A = this chain, B = another copy of it.
Amino acid sequence: MHVLITGAAGMIGQRLAARIAREGMCAGRPLSRLTLTDVVAPPRPAGFDGPIDIRTEDSSSAAIATELAALRPDIIFHLAAIISGEAERDFDKGYRINLDGMRNLLEAIRQESAKNGLYVPKLVFSSSSGIFGAPFPPAISDEFHVTPLTSYGAQKAIGELLLADYSRRGFVEGVGIRFPSIVIRPGKPNASAGGFFSGIIREPLQGQEALLPVGDDVLFTHASPRSAVGFLLHGASLTREQLGLRINLSMPGVCVTVGEQIEALRRIAGDRAVKLIRRAPDPAAADIVKGWPTRFDARRALSLGFRAEQDFDEIIRVHIEDDLGGRLPN
């Protein structure tokens, strides 16, 4: 089983590569080779004795996509993307990486098959709840309309449509994974509009102050980075028969208010941590977040066996285990 990961230097990509290498398995079959590509060199994961190819390149170009398809990986995790804020600032770059990158990869696979003999890999595509756009019903069902309000969301929605059509035509075995908010992101605070969802937990756990720009009543659906990796791996294990023709799936998550996030932090790290959250209302940030989907009724994903955490306490505990060495900093 040869596994290729694009965007392998990203937060999810690194964890996915690490888990596959550590387990030596993917989708129930032994790993024989791992190819990692990104615009910056992905770290070499530990625990796997077989060949690991580290590639530093822009995989969105048709030429690189052709090279990658010629390697004939059995499973491709296509995670390479420009994130939402950057796709909004740089229109051309967003379309080039997020749309052309996806289409070039699909086309390279189809051409590889036509030129060198049947080749139909499993293709796991990281999509996003950003394909949805307000106004929303109280819970977004699996049959809710697709009306993104960002270029990133439009590009991901187009990627889903391409993936579904190339799959229906038999060129790939696709599955699209619509991530909810993935928290708690490790590292430093960043400027993204939703950064506070991680920050109000991550910083206080480290004894540092965190700013909260929105009200306690803001509702949102989260899963941990560990769950995100689990979604991708579970997606890779599903058969065409299990998926049917609607291959793009909203993932489950923990739907909580910011206030409930804070109470989970209190249960795990005490009042001292909670006191480090400083309310700094920012109407602009509140406005952006208001346009985001809040709650999903992810029935299909649940029925197909996708699982997220049960509550926000568990998301915090996963962060402590996976990013803080298993214990609270004192």
Contact = CB atoms under 8 A, between A and B. Distances in A.
Interface of A: 91, 133, 137, 142-149, 151, 154, 157-158, 161-162, 164-165, 168-169, 245-246
Given A144-B145, A149-B168, 16 more contacts: A91-B169, A133-B245, A133-B246, A142-B145, A146-B146, A146-B157, A146-B161, A147-B164, A147-B246, A148-B161, A148-B164, A148-B165, A151-B169, A154-B164, A158-B158, A158-B161
Contact of A162 (B133, B137, B143, B158): B158
A144 B145 CA distance: 5
Q: What 4 A-B pairs have minimum CB-CB distances, sorted nearest first?
A: A154-B165, A143-B145, A146-B146, A154-B161
A162 B168 CA distance: 22
A107 to B, nearest CB: 9
Contacts of A165: 148, 151, 154
Nearest to A157: B161
Most B CB contacts (10 A, CB to CB) among A144, A154, A157, A161 go to: A161
Contacts of A91: 169
Contacts of A158: 158, 161-162
A279 to B, nearest CB: 31
Contacts of A149: 168, 245
A162 B154 CA distance: 7
